[in-house]
Amino acid sequence: MWFMKSNDEVLQGFGVDKKTGLSDAEAKKRLEQYGLNKLKGKPKKSILSLFLSQLKDMLIYVLIAAAVITMAIGEYTDSVIILLVIFLNATIGVIQEYKAEKAVEALQKMTTPKAIVRRDGKELEINSEEVVPGDIVLLDAGRYVPADLRLIESANLQIEESALTGESVPSSKNAGTVFEDPKTPIGDKANMAFLSTLTTYGRGEGIVVATAMDTEIGKIATILEEDSSEMTPLQKRLDELGRILGYLAIGICLVIFIIAFIQKRDLFDMFLTAISLAVAAIPEGLAAIVAIVLALGVTRMSKINAIVKKLPAVETLGSVNIICSDKTGTLTQNKMTVVATYTSGKLKDIPQAGENMEASPEEAELIKSLVLCSDATYVNGQGTGDPTEIALIILGNKFGLPRNELHQKYQRVSENPFDSDRKLMSTLNTQDGRYRIHTKGAIDNILKISSSALVNGQVVPLTDALRAEYHKITEEMSDNALRVLGVAYKDTDQVLEPGEMEKELTILGLVGMIDPPRLEVKSSIQEAKTAGITPIMITGDHKNTAVAIAKELGIADSLSQSITGAEIDEISEDAFADHIDQYRVFARVSPEHKVKIVRAFKSKGNIVSMTGDGVNDAPSLKYSDIGVAMGITGTDVAKGASDMILTDDNFTTIVHAIEEGRNIYNNIKKSVVFLLSCNLGEVITIFLSILFHWPVPLIATQILWVNLITDSLPAIALGVDPGDKDVMKQKPRNPKESFFAHGAGLRAVIGGVLIGLFTLLAFYYGLSHHGYQLGSRMLSDEALEVALPYARTMSFVVLAVSQLFYSLSMRNFDKSIFRVGLFSNLYLIGAIVAGILLQLVVITIPVLADAFGVHNLSLSEWGVALGFALIPLLVNEVIKLFSRSFGKK
C-alpha cells in the first residue's frame, strides 16, 4: 500500500536516503534476500509428457486393454492395428499443442534489460535483474520501468500503461499525490510506476517497492501459472461416451459368457467371440478420427486468419454464447483521432479518412496552433510521442497543414512544457516578424487565462455568454466520450518568459478526440447477436467513455448496463455472479477483476470467450473457455495465454471462427453418430447370432478392418462436410447437450438395427445358398465348414458396404441426400468408392482372403449383397421424408 504513504514514509520504510541511494553492500545483501528481479516460469513440458497427457482418455484406456487382450490370445495383427490407432491419435494432439504454453516465457522477455539507479551517491546503469527493493531508479522519456516504483519526484512525467490498464492515453504521474482509498485502481495510481510500462514524456525518480513476482506484472504471471485447464464440452462428451462404451463392452462380454454357459458352448470359443463383440462395441477409430477432423478444421480456420493452438478449442468456439472483449485495440483502433472541431460557433465533424480538406480561416488558425504546440512526429504512417499530439499532427496533414512545413515557417523560440498541475502546454514561435504564443490544454484552464475570443475573423471580448457556450459544447463532446482540448493564442513583440506566456490569451476553439471503434466491428456485433451471442466490453478506461463506445457499437443501451471495478469490489462474489447478466460494460477494471468477471459468467453455465491484446488480458484469456489474442497488436504474453490468435486483429474474424466452430462440431457429431450406428450394427449381428445359437457371422479381424478402414474413410469425409449456411441463425449449442439430442440417438439406433439385421440376413443367405440350412439336424459339420466362409464373406461385404452407403444419409439429419446435394461432398463419394474397392481387394487377393477368412463372390452374390446394403440408406431417407411432413403439419 505504498501509494497511500508520503515520500518520507516510503524512504523511511526502505531505510534509504534519496540523495545517495543504497550502498553497494546493502544492494548485494538485498539481492540475496529478495532474489533476481526476474519472473519465474513453469517448467517446460517435455514431448514425452505431452504425449502421455494425450493418453488420459477413457476410450484410449479401453483400446489399450483390447490391445493387451488380443496380444495375450495371440491375435498379434489386431494388437498392432489397435496400438497404431492409439499412437496416431496421441501424435496429432502433441503436434498441435507443442508450442502452446509460452505465456510466462513471453513475460520474462518483456522485462527491460537496463535500469539507471542511484547507489553510493552515483548514478549507474545496471542490468534490470539486479534492481532490488529500496533502489532509487531514474526515469526519462523512452525508458521502460524496471520494477514497481513509488515515485518520489516527477517533472511532467507521463507513462504509457495500455498493456497493463487498457488505457490508450499515457497516464500523467505526480509524485506528491497520496491516496487514501486502499482500493484505488491501478490506472488511477498517479504516484506509482509499474514494471514493463513505458515512460513517454518528462522525467522522474522512484523507489523500488516490488520486484519480480511481487510486481503487478508478476501477479499476472502467478495467475497464469495456476493450472486452470478444464475439459472442453467435446472432451467431456467423448470421455462420457468412452466410459459408456467401456462399460458396455464389459457388460456384453459377461452376457455372452452367461448365454454360453446356459447353451453349454465351448467357453474358449465364446471368449474369442466375446473379444469380437467387445471390439465391435468400441469404435476404435473414433479418437483418431475426431483428432483428424479437428486438425483439418484448424487448417481451414488458419485460412480465415484464425490460428488455433489447441485442437479441442475449435469445438468450444461453436458453444460460445458470451464474447468478453477488451475495448482498446480490439473494439477500437488504439489510436487517438480528432473527430470534431469547434470555432466561431460552428461545430464540425471530422471524417476519419480523407486528405486536402477545406478549412475556414478560424479553423486553419486553430489547427496551426495545435500542430505548432506539439512535440510529436508522424512520418510514413508511423507516429512518435504522445498519442494525443500524434492525433493533432494527423489532423494538420488532413487539412494541408503538415508539421514540418509549419515548424520551418514558424520556428519555435521558447516553450512552457506541459505539467499535470497547469494541464497546459505553450510554445512561442516566430510569425511575420513578431512572435505568437500557442497554448493548448484543458478547456477550463484555457478559459481562466483567456480574455478574448476569435469569432468570424474578429477578436472580441470573452463574455459570460461566450464562456457558457464553450462549456456547453465541452459537455456535449464529453457526453459523447470525446477528450476535449482547448486552444488559444497571443501575439507579442518580444520573447516572453515561460511564466508570462499564459496570460490574456485569445481563445480559438476546441477539438474533440477519441480512440475510434474499428469500422468493421459494428456489423460483426450485430451478426453475433443474431447468432445468440452476447458481446461484453471489458476495459481499464473510464465508465462514460466505455459506455459511449459500447452504445455506438450496439453492445449496450444505457449507463445502467455498466459497472466499475471499484463497484465490483463492494459486492460479494455470489451477489456479483447473480447480477452478472444485467451488465454489458465493465470499466476501470484490473486483471483480477477480469478473471472475476469471466468466472461469474461461467458460473451461470455460459461458455465464455475473452478477446484481448494486452498483458492485462492474459489471466482472463487463460481462465475463459476460449482465449482469443490479437496477432498484430497483441503482446507475446496474451498470445501465449490464448487458445486462438487472430492474425488480422479483426473482431469480425471471431464471428467467422465461431461459425466455423459450429460447423466443425456438427461434422464431428455426424461422424460420431455414424460410427456408433455402424458399431451398433456389428453388436446386433453378433449378439443375435449367439442368442439364436447360430455360428458367429464375423470374426475379430473382419470387425477391426471394418472399424478402422471401411468406417474411417466416410467418417473423416463427414468431418469435412461443407458447412450449413444457416448455422449462424441458430442459438449457441447448450454445452451439456448430448451428441444424441434432437433425434440423433434414435437415428443411430435405427441405422444400427437395420445394418445389423441385413448383415444377419446376408449371413443366412450365404449359408442357404451354399447348401447349409440353419436348424437342420441332418447336415454334418463338414457342410458347415464349406458354407461358413461364403456366408461370412456375404455378411462382411454387406456390413461394410451398407455402412458406406448409410454415410450419405448422415450428412443431414433432416434434409434428403438430394436436397443436400449428392455430389456436394466429393470426399464422401471418394470414400465410398474407395471403401467398396478395398472390400473387393480383400476378398479377391488370395493372401488377404486367407488372412480375413473370406472367399471370392459370384456376380449374382455381389448383386444380392449390394441390394441388401442399400436398404438401410433407403429406409432412413423415407423416415426423413415422413418426419419433414410431420414437422410441417
Q: Which residues are catalytic?
A: 326
What phi-psi label fits residue 462: left (phi over 0), alpha (psi between -120 and 50 degrees) or beta?
A: beta
Pairing between β-strand 148-160 and β-strand 424-431 as defined by DSSP bridges: unpaired
Q: Report the alpha-carbon distance of residue 675 to residue 679 in Å, rounded.
A: 6
**Contacting residues for 792 by C-beta, under 8 A, at least 6 apart:** 697, 698, 699, 702, 763, 766, 853, 854
Q: Report the alpha-carbon distance of residue 667 to residue 671 in Å, rounded.
A: 6
Q: Report the alpha-carbon distance of residue 800 to residue 865 in Å, rounded.
A: 10
Q: Computed over its alpha carbons, how large is the radius of gyration of the chain?
A: 36
- b/e map 826-864, b = 16+ CB within 10 Å: ebbeebbebbbebbeebbeeeeebeebebbebeeebbeb
Q: Report the alpha-carbon distance of residue 302 to residue 880 in Å, rounded.
A: 35
DSSP state of 539: -
Q: What angle do CA 231, 642, 578 make, to 5 degrees?
A: 65
Q: Report the alpha-carbon distance of residue 462 to residue 453 in Å, rounded.
A: 6
Q: Which DSSP string corresponds to 710-734?
A: ITHHHHHHHHTPPPPTTGGGSPPPP
Q: How many CB atoms lie within 10 A of CB 566?
A: 17
DSSP 3-state of 310: coil
Measured in residues, the chain has a length of 889
Task: Decide: 631 and 159 in contact? Cβ < 8 Å.
Answer: no
Task: Decide: 296 and 720 in contact? Cβ < 8 Å.
Answer: yes
Q: How many CB atoms lie within 10 A of CB 494?
A: 8
Going by C-alpha positions, the residue among 539, 201, 179 that lies closest to residue 374 is 201
**Contacting residues for 372 by C-beta, under 8 A, at least 6 apart:** 406, 407, 410, 412, 427, 429, 438
Cell of 383: 507516429
Q: Report the alpha-carbon distance of residue 280 to residue 704 in Å, rounded.
A: 8
Task: Decide: 610 and 627 in contact? Cβ < 8 Å.
Answer: yes
